[in-house]
Amino acid sequence: MGGVVVEDSSTTNENCLSCSNGTTITTPLNLDVGDPLLFEPYWKKMGDKCRVVIEGNDFMSYGFDPKSVCSFIHPELKDAIKRIHCLVGNAVIDDKYIVVGTGSTQLFQASWFALSPSDSSNPINVISAAPYYSAYPDAAGFLRSGIYHWGGDAKLYDKDEPYIEIVTSPNNPDGTIRGPVVRSKSEGKLVHDFAYYWPQYTPITHKADHDVMLFTFSKCTGHAGSRIGWAIVKDIEVAKKMTHFLYLSSVGASKESQIRAAKILGVLCDSYQNLGSQPFFEYGKCLMRERWEKLREVFEKSNVFTLAKYPKAYCKFTNETSETYPGRGASRTKQSVT
Amino acid sequence: MGGVVVEDSSTTNENCLSCSNGTTITTPLNLDVGDPLLFEPYWKKMGDKCRVVIEGNDFMSYGFDPKSVCSFIHPELKDAIKRIHCLVGNAVIDDKYIVVGTGSTQLFQASWFALSPSDSSNPINVISAAPYYSAYPDAAGFLRSGIYHWGGDAKLYDKDEPYIEIVTSPNNPDGTIRGPVVRSKSEGKLVHDFAYYWPQYTPITHKADHDVMLFTFSKCTGHAGSRIGWAIVKDIEVAKKMTHFLYLSSVGASKESQIRAAKILGVLCDSYQNLGSQPFFEYGKCLMRERWEKLREVFEKSNVFTLAKYPKAYCKFTNETSETYPGRGASRTKQSVT
């Protein structure tokens, strides 16, 4: 099973899906990296509503706000994050703590650090059900940490040791809707990676309400270059420990990116109040559906691969029944390829 | 010996140096954290020259540039970094690689990762001569890495094991000019932290030309909230390994911050070409000298503390002889304090 990048690559001319005789993929698909430039035209069309102006003396401070559990977060970003989750209804955010990081990549490492036992002499096992996001094992292992290490496929986990299970839903790379899979007597903690739990990718079936939930600006709106992610955290001590990780690893996240993310998320929410604007998620969903239909057409003509099918569900946000259109998808081999 | 924050704290009313009878510090100085808001009025005065305008569809890509060793760096930032080092003459940059990170905090960790032996079963010792920057031991130790760990005071290092010595010059917290101190038969590598090697803090006596040199936007211009640092690296494999660390820990650094850093560094360089502008480093140096003279006056009246004295040197950039005005300074106790 392999991931298929359906994110836009028009600027690079890589990942070009070219078929002859209806069956042969002549250029390899890049299975590892995708740039979410798909939504760029929407933000261009929004014109000066999205413009951010930064003066020479703005945001010079490190930004410690002793009143906030996460001392680096810009209050405007915090408000924008609350507003978008209230609009979409994909996560319970009341009475929770918001922690901002340099993308969700930094945040999932912060969550592993925060959830690991402080008194253990052995690293805790970080696990996820296969197929999992290819960055998890590398991120868990590259520093050979004594606090956490990669423990493999959650479906095969049978150690009598504590673990942290990452639940990615919709999953990267295969787009499946997931819950935890480990049933063990050992102490387990969960991190929910909701990078793709937005209406353009999947029906919003419920308000998620877990201990640690990760979201990222790059998948929500497509602004990957900003490197902004956020965690919604139930327990204050976990939020404080995550903040401590972010302080030690980079003294927080860029203020320019934070203020820009606040602006873009605000314009996104406004698009549901201004009748003249095209609502973002409807635009995004339309685009994703179109891409997937085109891709499906190509795959249907193929003698080698088929695309995975995703079940339909009722989306409480769009008020319609639809299927998941993952940022990346799964293909299966019809016959052996030499 | 303790560090004294002389960076501006006017917005917080913390660190207030209040004296009665000319001798008593009634409010403790914050010795750990300083916000470099000292230079804010300069950037405000520069007005729209420093303004950065970001459109909704700018910088959406992750920014992989396969032609660049550091695939996340914005070409305009790379050019601005080259320009400022050419102007100031504080570092040899020709035929070297530039790696950008989320502040120099992320970069010194990237350098330790890159310089550690890949085949060793023991973590390499990261050391620095005391008094050292308080973030080094925490950053080296918080993940209990099997690749590097904190090895303590470089002046006391006598292990028959490889090491990485961090040479911070001018030093944080005491402002001294430093070189490597370890004389050992073991294999040692050097990281030069030049956060404060800028003309407002110290005379520029030579173009530094070392294997790994770290600089940070926050200390150069005072823009700490942007979290932008850069490394100048001699060896391509070290630059690649540092980039790999940055990819795994946060998929690079904010594009918004990078473009803003490019703008501000450009305006700084322009201030030496436009006769109407006040040159930045002269402004900064004037301010630092003024602050130090005031502080020295207070300390001279004190029966408890004295301020360290710094030797004078000829600055090739300003063409005058002057002393170091560190971002933080050292005080000594005249008598025991109960």
Considering only CB atoms, B227 lies closest to which of A53, A56, A250, namely A250
Check residue B64 and give its pLDDT.
65
User: Are A222 and A91 in the same domain?
Assistant: yes
Flag whether B298 is in a domain.
yes
Residues of B in contact with A218 (CB under 8 A): 62
User: What are the residue ranges in chain B where pLDDT is below 50?
Assistant: 1-32, 336-338
B51 Cα to chain A: minimum distance (Å):
5
A192 Cα to chain B: minimum distance (Å):
18
- Planar angle of CA B29, B32, B36, nearest 5 degrees: 85
In the predicted structure, residue A43 carries a pLDDT above the cut 90 = yes
User: Are A262 and A325 in the same domain?
Assistant: no
In the predicted structure, residue A24 carries a pLDDT above the cut 60 = no
Prediction ipTM score: 0.89
pLDDT digits (tens, 9 = 90+) for A256-305: 999 999 999 999 999 999 878 899 999 999 999 998 888 888 888 877 77
Domain-terminating residue out of A244, A270, A296: A270
Mean of all residue pLDDT scores within chain A: 87
Check residue B253 and give its pLDDT.
98
In the predicted structure, residue A26 carries a pLDDT above the cut 50 = no
Distance CA A188, CA A190 (A): 7
Considering only CB atoms, A143 lies closest to which of B36, B106, B145, namely B145
**How many other CB atoms are there within 10 angstroms of residue A39's CB atom?**
22
A175 and A132 in contact (C-beta within 8 Å)?
no
Check residue A263 and give its pLDDT.
98
Per DSSP, the three-state class of A34 is: coil
Chain centroid to Cα B338, Å, comes to 34
Flag whether A121 is in a domain.
yes
Amino acid identity at B245: F
Q: In A212-321, which residue ranges form alpha helices assigned H by DSSP? A: 217-220, 236-250, 255-270, 280-300
Distance CA B231, CA B73 (A): 11
User: Are A171 and A303 in the same domain?
Assistant: no
Considering only CB atoms, A227 lies closest to which of B46, B55, B250, namely B250
Task: Name the residue among A39, A107, A108, A36 with its Cα closest to residue A328.
Answer: A36
Domain-terminating residue out of A246, A270, A294: A270
User: Are A202 and A282 in the same domain?
Assistant: no
Strands (E) in chain B, as ranges, are 2-5, 19-20, 24-25, 52-54, 97-102, 124-128, 148-153, 163-168, 188-193, 212-216, 228-233, 305-307, 312-315, 320-323, 328-333
Distance CA A260, CA A267 (A): 11
Q: Which residues, listed in sequence order, are joined to residue B192 by a DSSP beta bridge?
A: B167, B213
Check residue A333 and give its pLDDT.
63
For the ranges A65-69, A179-183, B106-110, B156-160, the lowest mean pLDDT is seen at A65-69
Which residue in B has a C-alpha nearest to residue A229's C-alpha? B250
| Average pLDDT score over residue span A60-80 | 90
Amino acid identity at A108: F
Considering only CB atoms, B251 lies closest to which of A39, A50, A103, namely A103
Instruction: Check CB contact under 8 Å for B253 and A227.
Output: yes
Instruction: Check CB contact under 8 Å for A64 and B253.
Output: no
Check residue B23 and give its pLDDT.
32
**Max CA distance (Å), chain A:** 64
Question: Can you give the CATH number for the domain in which A288 is found?
Answer: 3.90.1150
Q: Which percentage of chain A shows pLDDT scores above 90?
A: 73
- Put simply, the chain A residues between 91 and 120 with a CB less than 8 A from any chain B CB are 101-103, 105-106, 109, 113
Q: Determine if residue A239 is left, alpha or beta; phi over 0 gives left, psi from -120 to 50 gives alpha, anything else beta.
A: alpha
Instruction: Check CB contact under 8 Å for B105 and A57.
Output: no
Domain-terminating residue out of A223, A244, A270: A270
- Tokens 């920057």 locate to B133
Residues of B in contact with A109 (CB under 8 A): 249
pLDDT digits (tens, 9 = 90+) for A207-223: 999 999 999 999 999 99
- Planar angle of CA A167, A168, A169, nearest 5 degrees: 115
Cα separation values, A138 from A135, A144, A158, B72, Å: 5, 10, 22, 19
Task: Judge whether B257 is closer than 8 Å to chain A, CB to CB.
Answer: yes
Domain range for A240: 75-270
Amino acid identity at B76: E
Considering only CB atoms, B60 lies closest to which of A54, A64, A225, namely A225
How many interchain CB pairs under 8 A, A with B?
Answer: 213
Question: Can you give the CATH number for the domain in which B71 is found?
Answer: 3.40.640.10
Task: Judge whether A52 is closer than 8 Å to chain B, CB to CB.
Answer: yes
Distance CA A285, CA A200 (A): 4
**A254 CB-contact burial (10 Å; exposed 0-12 / middle 13-18 / buried 19+):** buried
Flag whether A43 is in a domain.
no
Q: Determine if residue A92 is left, alpha or beta; phi over 0 gives left, psi from -120 to 50 gives alpha, anything else beta.
A: beta
| Average pLDDT score over residue span A225-243 | 98
Check residue A334 and give its pLDDT.
58
Distance CA A125, CA A147 (A): 9
In the predicted structure, residue A6 carries a pLDDT above the cut 80 = no
Q: Determine if residue B13 is left, alpha or beta; phi over 0 gives left, psi from -120 to 50 gives alpha, anything else beta.
A: left
Instruction: Check CB contact under 8 Å for B227 and A51.
Output: no
Flag whether A143 is in a domain.
yes
**A145 CB-contact burial (10 Å; exposed 0-12 / middle 13-18 / buried 19+):** buried
User: Are A293 and A237 in the same domain?
Assistant: no
The string of DSSP codes covering B86-138 is HHH--B--TT-EEEEEEHHHHHHHHHHHHHS-TT-SSPEEEEEPSS--THHHH
- Tokens 């096992």 locate to A125
Flag whether A63 is in a domain.
no
Flag whether B202 is in a domain.
yes
**Domain count for chain A:** 2
Check residue A86 and give its pLDDT.
98
Task: Judge whether B147 is closer than 8 Å to chain A, CB to CB.
Answer: yes
pLDDT digits (tens, 9 = 90+) for A110-136: 999 999 998 888 999 999 999 999 999
Task: Name the residue among B250, B259, B62 with its Cα closest to residue A101.
Answer: B250
Residues of A in contact with B225 (CB under 8 A): 59-63, 254-256
Task: Judge whether A165 is closer than 8 Å to chain B, CB to CB.
Answer: no
User: Are A176 and A285 in the same domain?
Assistant: no
User: Are A106 and A185 in the same domain?
Assistant: yes
User: Are A253 and A126 in the same domain?
Assistant: yes
> A interface mutation test: which of B43, B61, B214 has the most A CBs within 10 A?
B61
B157 and B124 in contact (C-beta within 8 Å)?
no
Flag whether A64 is in a domain.
no
Flag whether B51 is in a domain.
yes
Instruction: Check CB contact under 8 Å for A254 and B252.
Output: no
User: Are A201 and A250 in the same domain?
Assistant: yes
Check residue B21 and give its pLDDT.
34
User: Are A310 and A167 in the same domain?
Assistant: no
Element (H, E) at A151: strand A148-153
Check residue B35 and give its pLDDT.
66
A79 Cα to chain B: minimum distance (Å):
19
| Higher-confidence position of B28 and A139 | A139
Instruction: Check CB contact under 8 Å for B146 and A142.
Output: no
Cα separation values, B113 from B132, B191, B252, Å: 20, 12, 16
A197 and A90 in contact (C-beta within 8 Å)?
yes
Instruction: Check CB contact under 8 Å for A61 and B144.
Output: no
Considering only CB atoms, B225 lies closest to which of A33, A47, A61, namely A61
User: Are A135 and A197 in the same domain?
Assistant: yes
User: Are A236 and A308 in the same domain?
Assistant: no
